[in-house]
Structure 1
Amino acid sequence: MKNRWIAFLTLLVGAISIASCVDPDQTQEVILERDKEAIAKYLLENPISSVKEYSEPIEGFYMFWQVSTDPKINNLLRGDTVTVDYAGKLLSNKYFDTSKEQFAKDQGIYNSTRNYTPLKYPLGYGLTISGFEFAVSLMREGEKATVIFPSRLGYGSQPQGPVPSNSPLIFELELKNVKLGVNHLNP
């Protein structure tokens, strides 16, 4: 009987401990609103020049094309293989990653054990963070764009190397090449 009470008290203390760890300021809705405010402030203080724009303000997603190509070129579909040069940074304008070696050296983020090449992957399989993937899906071969999005479309509450948890992200993208997949053959 005594062991049951000890087990019960242990469970009770554990449950109270877990409940007290839930920070009401860290709900997904609060984090999204905080991210959207930070993104709006960033864009106000750091206007991004563009020839074309796309935005979903409710989601906090903004995209600005510096180079745009013929809109008659095929839309990207799931399974198309894309080759993308990129540079990622935080709202502090501090770069944390890039596919370009010289740029990494210039920004002080060079890693001699890394192979700096454009990122090549099949679109639509979740192989990159969702904000990056969505932005690339809106592009056409030869286009350059800057995208900014909230943390939930990036790494969320999980820190990733130099990227702190709940960090909105900015990516400068160049879609170098597209190899159309089978979905273009069977519309």
Structure 2
Amino acid sequence: MDSIYQFNAPLYNSESFPLSQLKGKTILIVNTASKCNFSVQLSALEKLYQEYKSSGFTILAFPCNQFGQNEPLDNLAIKDFYQAQFNVSFEVFGKVMVNGPEAHPLFNYLKSHTRGISQNRAIKWNFTKFLINTEGQLVARYAPRTKPETLKHVIEANLQKKTSGKKSPKIVTNFAALKGI
């Protein structure tokens, strides 16, 4: 089955993390940057994580310096900054590229399974969000301007599908949430 479980990614400490460890969880993948105007979303993401982690939800932060050079910190400093400034306790990975020839394979996979605004596959800015179902498949893509708290209903719906045993839909792109980017 085609899913994110086929990928490994480096954590902030360079340790390889197989995404297959997350089988059965609803996941929100976010490309982040500490100096981005949207970095305040890290607090809202942490609130979502705390609210739903006991139900099988997790968040994966992938710092990226491709947009406005908004992630100048090294991996350890990023993790420390996220914890000190936003109390982040979800997984923070090492810096990755999300576009171009050196893009991490996970982001190539995510982009190949959905499109952003104007049907473009490229990620346009920091804090683009990807919701993954319990089978490791992409459910939806959300623009950087989409506030994390507005995703509660789709997170809850995916968590309910897990407990009811119903399969999550493979892809339902939320184009309304993509406006403005």
Output the TM-score relative to the length of structure 2.
0.25
Name the structure where helix makes up a greater proportion of residues: 2
Larger Cα Rg: Structure 1 or Structure 2?
A: 1
Output the TM-score relative to the length of structure 1.
0.24
Name the structure where strand makes up a greater proportion of residues: 1
